[in-house]
Structure 1
Amino acid sequence: MFPFTKTMPDESGDCASFSHLPDEIVLQIFSKLIDFKTLCVCKLVSPRFNQIVSQVDTISYNAHPVDHPRFNINTSDSTLPDSTLPKNRVWSLINDIVLKPIHLICSTLFTPIRLPAILLNPVSPSLTHADPVSVYQSESFLSAVKSLHRFTRLKSLRVEVPSSLKGVDNRCLFKWKMNFVNRIDSYVFLSPNLISDTKGVYACRNVYDAEEQEDMVLSRKKWDIGMDCFQDAVLRRWMLLDYINHFPLLEDVSVNDTNKRGRISVSGGRKIAELRIWLNSLSETTQNRIDRPRASVGYVPLLELPVSGYVMKGVFLLLVERDDLPDNNFDSFLNINLNDSEDKKESAYNEAIMEIFRKHRERIKRLS
């Protein structure tokens, strides 16, 4: 046993208690830390620690919000601030895979159709409720990405990024989910007014429902939030693909919303290897190709969830899909693995998605 007495650093700069340990043992100790920021501090102790810490295979990183001008969801006349993005391929891709598809949706989805009263006349989001790249432009985040890339032996990576939404109360009830193999296949946004157990005991209520707004106004707010979350989801997928392309040993990766509103994840060495091959086979023209999307909306007044034991009321659903997919192809939403959920809330939302597509499909109306 090593004495726990005050010691001077040895010539390499390590503490004496660590200098007697083999590198393999020290690596096992550091591998228990997982937290990215803690590991970065450990790397500064000495050249030896720097070399050993860089070999850990599991990291969790939580990116904090930055002090940056944002937009309020209740403000209708906001204008985008002046900002100069780096003129390189990264930001070109963000523009092509995020901003252009969003504008395309806004310009094509709003032809009047026959819908239930609550869903009539949806309002196009102004796209000024959120700043989709503010977190990604911050010096702290860019520095973290640069440091993260030095951990070349990563097998498991979990990143949490704050939402770009501004002015949305944390008590609002909503979650989003994105399905993709190579390209994005579909995105679904779900927002109930109220969640309770089957006995009618209060569980949680949407803050907007507490304001007793008219259903029409509430649906418009949910539409706006859902489209802004779509923007977030696309950016998170872009981050995930970048990690897959950079870390050759990666077997499990997820990019989550800090408030657990949604997550993008891929697990399994084979799936990640196939994605990496697909990425490396793409030409720049193919990478920048925009898949024309289509959108559908639905509203279910009362939704019973037999597995979780909850009841949802006033459930709003937004579905965005690639336009080249077959109509009414909802297989990916019918067989969601509830055991893959991170907590009971996510499991309940996943069950709600399945119940809507199984029993209330007629309530989902395509906007065309």
Structure 2
Amino acid sequence: MSDSCQQEEDYFDLLPDPILLLVFDKVLDAKSLCRCLLVSKRFASLIPQLDSISIKIGTPRKKSDGALRKLRTGSSNNLVNTLICQFIAKPLQFLQHLAMMKSDSTSENGDLNYVHWMTKYLKNFSEVRFLQLELPSRGSEIGGKDTPFLKWTAEFGKELQRCVILQANSFEKRENTCNSTKIDEEEFHQNQSVLLSNDDLKTRIIWIITCVVTASARHSLLKKLVTDCPELRNAVITDSSKQWKLSMKEDQIRELRNEMNSSSCSASQMSQRTCVPDLVMRLYYVRELELACSGYAMKGATLVAIRSASLAEERDGDSFLKGCLGGREGGELLAEAAREITRRTDKTVYKVEMSSF
């Protein structure tokens, strides 16, 4: 065998380190990058230098699920399978369901179960500046049959600063007709605003509080990221279904880090829900909402803009809403909904203040 065949040329060795870092920077996925660490010493020395990573935590598969599947698909006769399914598999499922309910009800913050996964990946990256964390979706986490569509985004510093919530009683996909559909201005101005009933308003206040509390509980994960990543400048936490998003920018991370250093937070304090500050909010309601660019139509659309009372007051309601949305951080759907509801003359606006809790 010739020497050329024995020593194949490694094209990666010909690439300079800055080019390799650009390649790895496009990968983002922390799990894939951790596998690349094992390829060579050179990779192992370069990958920890990356400043942007994404951590996606999947739903863990329970061993009991596999056991029940084997019981159902065994090779024995149908009678035995039926008996096993009725008297063993289903009771096991019921007990498992009770255990999960008990675990959820006794855990102050279920998201803390993901901390060890975060630590597992983050220990390999010492210079992370931008981090995106995706958690498993728990289905329709907030809401239910009365809120078929619910989407929210929140910004934090040492506490909740801004939050925008979009809810609708119905949510349908329409043909995308962006820039081709114009509203009949005469019909537009003839619409009359509709007041919500007391029961409807109370229902919306309840799920607003639920969203705010949920966001404050998950703030503990942002605290963990700030602690483990000393160079962090931007952090985003979302769920796989994109129902919600928490974010922190550089000045907000600096504020949180200063607060944590000054108060010397213990591990138990970091895991606790962050107190909700005094809040000022505006609730916008329209009976029907067409989002031509996104291609959706909503009925009973409610948009809520929330900000901490400690932030500078914005007297103009429209600028208040846009300030809470935080530009593109709110996502395309929220941004379009904010634009459309702001320009509507038939919108109903409620102003609400909420004390810290």
- 1:355–1:259 distance in 2 versus 1, CA, 3 Å: farther
Please point out which of 332, 335, 338 is paired with 1:347.
335
Please give the per-residue CA displacement for 1:146-184, whole angstroms capped at 9, x wherever unaligned: 221331111221122234455778993211132444321
One-letter code of the match for 1:351? R
Contact 2:131–2:236, Cα closer than 8 Å, also in 1: yes
Q: Deviation at 1:20?
A: 4.9
- Quote the residue 1:64 is aligned against: 58
Q: Report whether the alignment pairs 1:315 with 2:301.
A: yes
The sequence identity of aligned pairs, in percent, is: 22
Inter-partner Cα distance in structure 1 for 2:117 and 2:292 = 44
Q: In the alignment, is the contact (CA less than 8 A) between 1:305 and 1:348 conserved in 2?
A: no
**Of 141, 147, 153, which residue of structure 1 is paired with 2:121?**
147
| Closer/same/farther in 2, CA of residues 51 and 345 from structure 1, 3 Å limit | same
Aligned mates of 1:56, 1:283 — CA distance in 2: 29
Amino acid at match of 2:301: V
Deviations 1:101-128 (A, max 9, x none): xxxxxxxxxxxxxxxxxxxxxxxxxx96
2: distance between equivalents of 1:290 and 1:173? 27
Find 2:216's aligned residue among 234, 253, 261: 234
The equivalent position to 1:284 in structure 2, one of 238, 249, 265, is 265
Match 2:150 to one of 162, 165, 174: 174
The one of 24, 36, 42 equivalent to 1:30 is 24
Whether the 8 Å contact between 1:30 and 1:53 is mirrored in structure 2 is: yes
Q: Is the 8 A contact 2:53 2:132 kept in 1?
A: yes
Offset of residue 260 of structure 1 = 1.8
Counterpart CA distance in 2 for 1:358 and 1:233 is 31
Q: Match for 1:257 among 226, 230, 239?
A: 239
Say which one has the larger Rg. Answer: 2
Q: Figure out how many residues of one structure are paired with residues of the other and give that number.
A: 289
Q: As a proportion of its length, which structure holds more helix?
A: 2
Q: Which residue of structure 1 aligns with residue 38 of structure 2?
A: 44
Give the direction of change, closer, same or farther, for the CA distance of 1:229–1:194 in structure 2 (3 Å limit): same
Do 1:132 and 1:164's aligned partners in 2 also have CA atoms closer than 8 Å?
A: no
For residues 261-281 of structure 1, the C-alpha deviation after alignment (integer angstroms, 9 at most, x for no partner) is 22222334x554344333322
TM-score w.r.t. the length of structure 2 is 0.59
**What are the within-5 Å matches in structure 2 for residues 119-198 of structure 1?**
133-134=109-110, 136-137=112-113, 142-165=116-139, 172-194=148-170
| Residue matched to 2:47 | 53
Checking the alignment, whether the CA contact within 8 Å between 2:285 and 2:347 is kept in structure 1 is: no
SS at match of 1:66: coil
Matching residue's letter, 1:261: Q
Q: 2:248 aligns with which of 266, 274, 278?
A: 266
Query: Structure 2: which 5+ runs fail to align?
Result: 65-97, 184-196
Q: Distance in 1 between matches of 2:61 and 2:210?
A: 19
